């Protein structure tokens, strides 16, 4: 009886999940935070923020494309709509503005999916104040998967979206949309993702990560920008204010640097802290440790409900024969441990004349607590269920709300 009472009291108290040095790198405050659902919101907010920039722009990316259209559903304004010409026009107009672009020097497997001659399109063809570098500063079979944009060290974007083609869509995810075409005018299916926008010390912390990554590749130390401007996009209304942002990293051991697995630890601790429900959106489901953690919660008689949203299928033959096999094992492992019927795997479909699946590229985990008004929201720019040992660089941003 005493044990049951103690357990009930423990469940009623909001847990401090994030602990710097244990499952995260840093906790930093943000006066404003906004969740930008789908690339139509993110690309437009990015464009407006960059138009407000005066000193520095950092772009760290898994992929980037100079012909990415930022606002295809809106009339053109004074600047070009394609990313490369857009940044070039701003750099020519503002001599004090510096733009640093760092993207993954991808494996040959991805070569046909990337823009040819990226160094030329975003480096040689653009103003000298735009610096472009390809990053291979990671072990073999790893990648740069961080997705950060920092403007004047005052605001920062992070999430699952890169500034590249075949990402733009609206939350309606219509079966056909005139803006959802690539740089050649070829349509692509509905695409779902989310990006987080923060300001204040949280943005400055992400700026520190971006500068460190730039230094590792170039040996060039870029001094911090004094925060004297507010480039927050005026069209974006903050969803929450006065919150703490937890930043967790994941890196493979390389060049004398130790392996970092904060993201995995934060996911495991967040899953363990859930009391009412666990909601996950992810492109991939392959991590056995995550599956075991979710399976343990499903074994509990009064554990949380688990809802997992993913794409209907993996894309391409390579993913189908690798990630697809691992995803099948992940699903099977959880289904076998779902003793009380609290697990659901779903994928979204836009219904019409022909059913049109919506591709899930987002990386979201929402942990709710039934016995206290607390909510944990995590967004991470990696497949949150991927194996961790070979990731060359990613991180997670995490917000906890207590009302």
Q: In percent, how much of the chain has pLDDT > 70?
A: 86
Q: How much is the average pLDDT of 228-233?
A: 94
Q: Does pLDDT of 198 surpass 50?
A: yes
Rounded to an integer, what distance in angstroms lies between the CA atom of residue 80 and that of residue 127? 15
Residue 7 pLDDT class (50, 70, 90 cuts):
very low
Quote the pLDDT of residue 113. Answer: 78
Quote the pLDDT of residue 324. Answer: 75
**Maximum CA extent, the chain:** 73
Supply the mean pLDDT for the chain.
Answer: 86
DSSP state, residue 305: E
pTM: 0.89
Q: How much is the average pLDDT of 342-369?
A: 88
Quote the pLDDT of residue 137. Answer: 86
Q: How much is the average pLDDT of 266-286?
A: 90
How many other C-beta atoms lie within 10 A of the C-beta of residue 287? 22
Quote the pLDDT of residue 116. Answer: 86
Per-residue pLDDT of 315-337, as tens digits, reads 766 677 777 788 888 999 999 99
Selection from 158, 202, 266 nearest residue 28 by Cα: 202
Q: How much is the average pLDDT of 16-33?
A: 92
Integer distance in angstroms from the first to the last C-alpha of the chain? 31
Rounded to an integer, what distance in angstroms lies between the CA atom of residue 277 and that of residue 399? 17
Q: Does pLDDT of 166 surpass 60?
A: yes
Selection from 271, 272, 249 nearest residue 260 by Cα: 249
Quote the pLDDT of residue 284. Answer: 85
Per-residue pLDDT of 209-228, as tens digits, reads 999 999 999 999 999 988 88
- Torsion, Cα 136 142 144 147, to 10 degrees, reads 170
Two structure tokens written together for 232 = 């927050």
Per-residue pLDDT of 335-355, as tens digits, reads 999 999 999 999 999 887 788
Rounded to an integer, what distance in angstroms lies between the CA atom of residue 76 and that of residue 64? 21
Quote the pLDDT of residue 391. Answer: 40
Domains within the chain, CATH numbers bracketed: 2-21+245-402 (3.30.870.10), 31-243 (3.30.870.10)
Quote the pLDDT of residue 402. Answer: 38
Q: Does pLDDT of 385 surpass 70?
A: no
Rounded to an integer, what distance in angstroms lies between the CA atom of residue 113 and that of residue 188? 14
Per-residue pLDDT of 81-96, as tens digits, reads 999 999 999 999 999 9
For 192, the enclosing helix (H) or strand (E) is strand 191-192
């Amino acid at each position: 009886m005493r044990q049951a009472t103690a357990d009930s009291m423990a469940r009623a108290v909001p847990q401090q999940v994030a602990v710097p040095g244990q499952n995260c790198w840093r906790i930093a405050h943000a006066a404003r935070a906004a969740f930008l659902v789908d690339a139509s919101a993110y690309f437009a907010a990015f464009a407006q923020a960059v138009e407000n920039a005066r000193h520095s722009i950092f772009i760290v990316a898994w992929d980037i494309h100079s012909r990415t259209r930022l606002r295809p559903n809106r009339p053109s304004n004074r600047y070009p709509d394609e990313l490369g010409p857009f940044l070039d026009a701003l750099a020519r107009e503002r001599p004090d503005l510096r733009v640093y672009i760092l993207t993954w020097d991808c494996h040959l497997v991805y070569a046909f999916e990337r823009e040819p001659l990226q160094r030329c399109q975003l480096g040689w063809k653009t103003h000298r104040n735009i610096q472009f570098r390809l990053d291979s500063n990671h072990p073999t079979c790893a990648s740069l998967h961080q997705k950060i944009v920092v403007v004047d060290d005052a605001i920062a974007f992070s999430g699952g979206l890169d500034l590249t083609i075949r990402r733009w869509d609206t939350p309606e995810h219509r079966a056909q949309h005139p803006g959802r075409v690539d740089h050649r005018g070829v349509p692509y299916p509905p695409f779902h993702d989310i990006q987080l926008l923060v300001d204040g010390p949280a943005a400055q912390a992400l700026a520190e990560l971006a500068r460190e990554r730039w230094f590792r590749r170039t040996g060039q130390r870029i001094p911090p920008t004094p925060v004297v401007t507010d480039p927050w996009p005026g069209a974006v209304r903050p969803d929450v204010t006065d919150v703490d942002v937890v930043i967790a990293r994941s890196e493979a051991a390389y060049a004398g640097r130790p392996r970092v697995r904060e993201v995995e630890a934060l996911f495991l601790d967040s899953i363990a802290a859930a009391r009412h429900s666990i909601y996950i959106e992810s492109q991939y489901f392959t991590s056995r440790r995550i599956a075991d953690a979710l399976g343990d919660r499903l074994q509990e008689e009064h554990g949380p409900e688990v809802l997992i949203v993913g794409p209907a299928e993996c894309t391409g033959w390579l993913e189908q024969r690798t990630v697809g096999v691992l995803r099948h094992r992940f699903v099977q492992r959880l289904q076998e441990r779902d003793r009380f019927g609290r697990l659901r795997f779903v994928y979204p479909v836009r219904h019409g004349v022909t059913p049109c699946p919506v591709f899930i590229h987002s990386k979201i985990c929402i942990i709710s607590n039934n016995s206290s008004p607390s909510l944990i929201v995590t967004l991470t720019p990696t497949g949150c269920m991927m194996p961790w040992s070979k990731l060359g660089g990613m991180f997670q941003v995490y917000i906890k709300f207590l009302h």
